[in-house]
Amino acid sequence: MGLALWMVLVPVLAAFVCVLVPARQACVQRGLALAGSVITLLLALLAWLRFPGAVQAGGGANPAAAGVPLVSHLPWFTLPGLWQQQDVTVGLSFGLDGLSLTLAGLTALLALLAAAAVRPEEAEMRRFALWSQLAAAGAIAAFTALDVLTFFAGLELSLFAGFFLIDLSGDPQRRAAAVKYLLYRGLASVLLLLALFGIAYGVAGGYSSLQPDANGNLPGAPAFTLAWPALQHNLHGLSTAVFPDHARAVLFWVLLLGILVEEAFVPFHTWLPTAHEHTSAPVSMLLGGVLTKTGAYALLRFGAGLLPDQLQHFATWVAVLGTINILYGAFAAWAQRDWRRLIAFGSISHMGLVLLATAAGNAAGLQGAMFMMVSSGLLTAFLFFLAGAVQARTQTAELGRLGGLSRPLPLLSGFWLVAALGALGLPLTSGFVSEIQSFIGSFHRFPAISFVAALGLILSAVYLLYAIQQTTFGPLRPEYASLADAQARELWPAVVLTAVVLWVGVYPNGLGQVLGQTVQQLLQMGG
């Protein structure tokens, strides 16, 4: 079995063992969650080291044609005569390219740090270990899927695991937040399913309508397939006479609508701040750092990969939507008086840049969008981790009830400042590299729209620095004077996140070399 499949199976096996271990053995449960995440992260690092030699060049309707080696394929069942009297075999397929490998590694890292951050008093440990491992497995499966059904299997696993994770906290409104999360992302899954199955049927139907050659054959006519590398290859060679532009346009908008809901873009964003407000910090690390990146992944993988002409035709509209998210998220974050909601709206603002950069359709824009997904995942998780550590000590995340914490909590305050500076795009951090690449790409295509969107950079500096000033400086409340600073189990996650944020910012070529392969594939499909 290939590395991609093992990266999915390891957290599933860890979750299964968690069920077998008695719930009262919290230390064992935590150890299982940590072990599952460590092994998954080591597999991702091994795949990273092997990655340059793993990518194969090829042609035809196979994964290698899209620069994705077929790592694993597990046949599941066969549907006889489903399409044109041809059998269709349904199975699970996993592979790795630059984007999927990077996001799978990010998932493993944040699952590890979330397991380290969870506190026994915040959640029953077995339930957290079980559902966090299943959420990681689902996200990795979605990111590494080579066909539509595998993608949806991973997406639904992460969806239901996320629901139970949100419901773990002791907040009285957690159930309503979890249900809202489930309804919104469930709707997104339906829309994505309709769009992708519509593309698959459109491709198969287009080829079946071609006229046979002199020998009565249909050269190159494929069987019905749900493998996205094959769909990408076949769509690229299928004329608009048999799969018309208007049909592709409708499918593009259905796909985009699903992406807007899945990623919590405006105006379908309300479920995200609610979920973050009423759940624990470790769950928010997974939710904001990983589970909400599936929508942006679908935009790049299926929007730019399968329907590049439609994406470019409606690029101005997508860019405008991105700018609305950047500005609305920034203004909304500025208006918040709770750190959890501020971070949530800040994440919406940053991910709006993914829409704007992807719409540009050039190398800088696409790579900037990918960098932003990684950077936003790291920094959002970092901020939630620190907010949770402070909230556990002060019993509040409200800005008005905090202040002067740099005196009793110098280490936590220092890390908080680092995370905020990274989020606002300070040079030598991952936020700066992501933003500069994204705006270079977008200014080349949309100078006026990008100028307006750039105002979001100023706003992010305003609301983040204001929140840091309110939290760590100013008069210290007497009840906070004796607070204990960061413990060892809090220091090493903070150090790791700081190191990764700085590594991406100081040496972006390390990540860019891996993501660049996917960028080139998308540019080739878009002509």
| Cα(282)–Cα(302) distance, integer angstroms | 30
Query: Is it the case that residue 505 has pLDDT exceeding 50?
Result: yes
Confidence category of residue 344, pLDDT binned at 50, 70, 90:
very high
| Secondary structure letter of residue 210 according to DSSP | S
Within a domain: 353: yes
Task: Between 219 and 509, name the one with better pLDDT.
Answer: 509
Average of pLDDT values for 347-370? 94
Would the pLDDT of 432 be above 60?
A: yes
Cβ neighbours of residue 303 closer than 8 Å, sequence gap 6 or more? 252, 255, 256, 259, 311, 358
Tell me, yes or no, whether 124 lies in a domain: no
pTM, rounded to two decimals: 0.92
Question: Which of these ranges, 240-254, 385-399, 492-506, has the smallest mean pLDDT?
Answer: 240-254
Say if residue 353's pLDDT is above 90: yes
From the CB of residue 391, how many other CB atoms can be counted at a distance below 10 Å? 18
Tens digits of per-residue pLDDT, 14-56? 999 998 888 778 888 889 999 999 999 999 999 888 876 434 3
Confidence of residue 204 (pLDDT cuts 50, 70, 90): confident
> Tell me, what's the pLDDT at 244?
82
Residue that wins the pLDDT comparison between 359 and 89: 359
55-75 per-position pLDDT tens digit: 433 333 444 444 555 467 777
Torsion of CA 499, 500, 504, 509, to 10 degrees: 100
Higher-scoring residue by pLDDT: 480, 86: 480
pLDDT of 336 > 60? The answer is yes
Residue-wise pLDDT for 105-160, tens only, equals 999 999 999 999 887 655 578 889 999 999 999 999 999 999 899 999 999 999 99
Any domain includes 349: yes
Q: Is the model's pLDDT at 381 over the cut of 90?
A: yes
Domain membership of residue 173 (yes or no) is: no
Matching residue, tokens 């796909």: 255
User: Structure tokens of 273?
Assistant: 């701040």
Residue 294 CA neighbour count, 13 Å, CB half: 31
**What digits encode the pLDDT tens for the residues 294-307?**
999 999 999 998 99
Tally of domains in the chain: 1
Average pLDDT of the chain, as a whole number:
87
Q: Is residue 357 assigned to a domain?
A: yes
Assigned domain for 483 exists: yes
**Domain housing 327:** 314-527
Does residue 286 have a pLDDT over 90? yes
Whether the CB-CB separation of 425 and 458 falls below 8 Å is answered with: no
User: Cβ distance 263 to 346 under 8 Å?
Assistant: no
Q: Which residues pair with 89 in a beta bridge?
A: 78
- Residue 168: per-residue pLDDT: 85
Q: Which residues contact 522 (CB under 8 A, 6 or more apart)?
A: 300, 304, 305, 308, 366
CA distance 136 to 24: 23
Calculated CA dihedral for residues 503, 504, 506, 511, nearest 10 degrees: 110
Which of 273, 457, 430, 428 lies closest to 353, judged by CA?
A: 457
Q: Could you give the CA distance from residue 430 to residue 505 in angstroms, rounded to a whole number? A: 4
Cβ atoms 268, 261 nearer than 8 A: yes
Of all helices (H) and strands (E), which one includes residue 382?
helix 363-394
Contacts of 418 (CB under 8 A, 6+ apart): 498, 501
Mind listing the pLDDT tens digit for each residue in 172-192?
898 999 999 999 999 999 999
pLDDT confidence band for 76 (50 / 70 / 90): confident
- List beta partners, residue 88: 79
Is residue 32 in some structural domain? no
- Is the pLDDT at 219 greater than 60? The verdict is no
